[in-house]
Amino acid sequence: MARVKLADGELNYRLDGPEEAPVLVLSNSLGTDLGMWDTQIPTFTEHFRVLRYDTRGHGQSLVTEGPYSIEQLGRDVLALVDALSLERFSFCGLSMGGLIGQWLGINAGNRLDRLVICNTAAKIANDEVWNTRIETVLRDREAAMVGLRDASIARWFTPEFAEREPAQAKRITDMLAATSPDGYAANCGAVRDADFREQVAGIQVPLLIISGSQDAVTPPSGGEFIQQRVKGAEHEVFYAAHLSNVEVGGPFSQRVLDFLRA
């Protein structure tokens, strides 16, 4: 693990893979950390220099006063790659990371080679959902995070996967319980306020959208909406719930790799 100093704190990151390889940035979902991509690393590092980081408010990265915005989180990514002298990169983000990817595609497409957004939408849920969650987390704090962890198994994974791979499901959901309540609530605000429905057509870099057929949080219809508006976008649907990269690790990794290397 390593740190990059931003204007208001430090961003935790990790670089794996050959120094001379093209760069791939991976962005975590709400309530996880860079470890959510562990399954992908052996495959991705065969061809890419993989940069993972803990989004602001998560893991070992800075926690600042919220609410955050997706623009702020996107600018964190640009500050990170700039600090590491990485001019161009491909980007793969899941859920909240997919919103960050959309912002980058719309506003910093000149820096991107290719873009993958997973289990996401141009607009995720409604204000009431996020405001209720923010209120609960800031009121009950650590107890609320434990409650979210216990509820997340059903949201993040299909029942079949949770039963077949309990240790893997626990490893990922434990990240949620360990997340700062203040950081989590601030990121909920960023997701709540993000709405790219009118802007997503501005993405002009090659785009792959991945959805989970059993994902109640961001169903495939959200991916279809984006595909219909971004010229040439590809859309892949796996049998999975919200964390498709964990649930269908091998096929997910290969589909992303095929797209990035096309």
**Tens digits of residue pLDDT in 239-249:** 999 999 999 99
**Would you state the pLDDT for residue 173?**
96
Structure confidence by residue, pLDDT tens digits, 96-121? 999 999 999 999 999 999 999 999 99
**Would you state the pLDDT for residue 1?**
77
33: nearest Cα among 155, 179, 218: 179
Q: Residue with structure tokens 């993000």?
A: 194
Which residue ranges form the domains of the chain, and what is each CATH number? 2-260 (3.40.50.1820)
206 near 231, Cβ under 8 Å? Answer: no
123 near 198, Cβ under 8 Å? Answer: no
Q: Residue with structure tokens 């002298």?
A: 85
Read off the pTM. 0.97
Task: State the first-to-last Cα distance of the chain, in angstroms, to the nearest integer.
Answer: 30
Residue 145 has pLDDT above 90, yes or no: yes
